[in-house]
Structure 1
Amino acid sequence: MKFISWNVNGLRAGIKKGFVDKLYSLNPDVIGLQEIKLSEGQLELELEGYTTYYNYAERKGYSGTAIFTKVQPLAVTYGIGIPEHDNEGRVITMEFDDYYFITCYTPNSKRGLERLDYRMVWEDAFRAYVNALDAKKPVILCGDLNVAHNDIDLANPDANHKSAGFSDEERAKFTELLASGYTDTFRHLYPDTVNVYSWWSNFAKARERNVGWRIDYFVVSNRLIDAVEDSKIHMDVLGSDHCPVELLLK
């Protein structure tokens, strides 16, 4: 099984930049998208071979997630079941025979960490949600989790310890998630690989200079780790300020 995760930074914009061709080139069995920036009825997209599912934010042009799948799920749920966290379209969960698949767009703490307090509440609620699923069957979690976990995961760690996505608080919450029984698949397979990122600022030619952050993940329940064949980051695929990340499962 091939899974892809991609923050498309606006699906309609992504389609104009060749999203559909890139989807078929990557050829995932399941793809989770984040930041689709859609409201219901704004896009009619038929993809041969895929069934499409969307979770829209209440606010127009903001957030939102989607999953396109070749494999029919047993069930699909939207959000995490807590109204205060479910109005931004940030989570879709699919149940398959042997695991749950979750796509997630974690809230950004914003400039000056103005939304950090909410982010901390979200983290605890989301971790509890994932753990409740994991108690039933293993979990595959993908998405823009809006955190670079360690110094190796961004180009300029020393300058960003108080920046959104690399604050001590956000990193500690990701550590707490992993400690609950999960593995960051890319870093598990490539513990010392440097200069591999999934997001670049649009300023100062950051992508051309590869001044980036690794904030897009495939995280799996520990008991799935032996089934992980590879975890890839497609830095060469353009069309968003993020690039796609991939999980190959035996």
Structure 2
Amino acid sequence: MKIISWNIDSLNAALTSDSARALLSRDVLYTIQAHQADIIAIQETKLSAKGPTKAHIAKLEEIFANYSVFWRSSVEPARKGYAGTMFLVREGLDVTPTAPQIEAPTTMDFEGRLLTLELENLYVTQVYSPNVGDALVRLADRQQWDILYSNYLSELDKTKPVVAVGDFNVAHKEIDLAHPDRNHFSAGFTDEERAGFSNLLDAGFIDSFRHLHGDVEGVYTWWAQRVKTSKINNSGWRIDYALVSERLGDKVIKSEMIDSGTRQDHTPILIELDI
């Protein structure tokens, strides 16, 4: 089974705009399509509460023929056109989608951050974890989220093994970002967020990339848009992950990043399992 995950930073723009950045995003979608994955997880869709429009669906069907679409958008009382997740599932694959709520603080349960598929022999779930913000204003809420999310995965794991992919918005170790020395108090690399991720792994899950590649350095999934040379200089962060239940560790064949060319921000990740 092959699964791809990508934080797209606006599906609407990628599908309907002709800006330079949108064209780069659309190129990445075609790159993803070429991998012929069984399941494609997309975060930060930024769609309306009504979900994809007819124009969006038509374009998705053009790029991803023979895939079913499952989506979840941000709804009131959360902000409109914010966050959001989507699954594209290869036709013929029998899945049952759910949009779980985990009793998260503030409006997090309404921001479309979690989407789960139940298959015959496992769960595939995706997450767009909350960013704590430049002033760490959401750090306390994020700590609660991390506990509740870990509990949610653990509950799934009691029934079937789990593959959890997405934008976790945290670089776990110093080797997961280019400049750890200057970022210990930055969103995504605070001690609290890193501890939350460690606790998630301790709950019975494996970071599939590290499982296969060990302590390799200089491999990232995100480069800041605001810094024009961030990708050229590979000044990045690894904040997108594919986690698996411990009992799936020996089933992981690949866990890697997909080249997104010159486009900065997130790059897609791919996991392949012998299932």
TM-score (norm 1): 0.95
The answer to whether the Cα contact below 8 Å between 2:9 and 2:44 also exists between their aligned partners in 1 is yes
Q: In the alignment, what sits opposite 1:62?
A: 82
1:51 maps to 2:71 = no
Query: Which whole-Å CA distance do the structure 2 matches of 1:243 and 1:105 have between them?
Result: 14
Query: What displacement does 1:237 show?
Result: 4.3
The code of the aligned residue for 2:10 comes to G
Match of 2:141 among 118, 126, 140: 118
Q: In the alignment, what sits opposite 1:31?
A: 40
Worse-superposed segment, 64-73 or 161-170: 64-73
Question: Matched residue of 2:184: which SS?
Answer: coil
Report 1:179-190 matches (<5 A).
179-190=202-213
Query: Which whole-Å CA distance do the structure 2 matches of 1:74 and 1:143 have between them?
Result: 19
Query: Which whole-Å CA distance do the structure 2 matches of 1:25 and 1:74 have between them?
Result: 22
Question: Matched residue of 1:135: which SS?
Answer: helix
Query: Which whole-Å CA distance do the structure 2 matches of 1:99 and 1:139 have between them?
Result: 6
Query: What displacement does 1:199 show?
Result: 0.3
Query: Which whole-Å CA distance do the structure 1 matches of 2:253 and 2:88 have between them?
Result: 22
Query: What displacement does 1:239 show?
Result: 4.8
Describe the shift of the 1:210–1:240 C-alpha distance in structure 2 as closer, same or farther (beyond 3 A).
closer
The code of the aligned residue for 2:83 comes to S
1:80-136 CA-to-partner distances (Å, cap 9, x unmatched) read: 353753210001000011110001000001112111011011111111111100000
The answer to whether the Cα contact below 8 Å between 1:80 and 1:126 also exists between their aligned partners in 2 is no
Worse-superposed segment, 65-74 or 118-127: 65-74
Describe the shift of the 1:237–1:69 C-alpha distance in structure 2 as closer, same or farther (beyond 3 A).
farther
Q: In the alignment, what sits opposite 2:246?
A: 222
Report 1:40-189 matches (<5 A).
40-42=51-53, 43-44=56-57, 45-46=60-61, 47-58=64-75, 59-70=79-90, 71-82=92-103, 84-189=107-212
Query: Which whole-Å CA distance do the structure 2 matches of 1:235 and 1:148 have between them?
Result: 20
The answer to whether the Cα contact below 8 Å between 1:103 and 1:143 also exists between their aligned partners in 2 is yes
1:214-240 CA-to-partner distances (Å, cap 9, x unmatched) read: 000000000001100010112444556
Task: Give unmatched runs, 5+ long, in structure 2.
Answer: 16-21
Q: In the alignment, what sits opposite 1:4?
A: 4
Task: Give unmatched runs, 5+ long, in structure 1.
Answer: none
Describe the shift of the 1:41–1:242 C-alpha distance in structure 2 as closer, same or farther (beyond 3 A).
closer
The code of the aligned residue for 1:92 comes to L
Query: Which whole-Å CA distance do the structure 2 matches of 1:73 and 1:110 have between them?
Result: 38
Query: What displacement does 1:49 show?
Result: 1.3
Query: Which whole-Å CA distance do the structure 2 matches of 1:199 and 1:105 have between them?
Result: 14
The answer to whether the Cα contact below 8 Å between 1:63 and 1:105 also exists between their aligned partners in 2 is yes
1:32-81 CA-to-partner distances (Å, cap 9, x unmatched) read: 11001111244333231100010101222210000001153441101335
Query: What displacement does 1:13 show?
Result: 2.0
TM-score (norm 2): 0.86
The code of the aligned residue for 1:208 comes to I
Question: Matched residue of 1:147: which SS?
Answer: coil
1:213 maps to 2:237 = yes
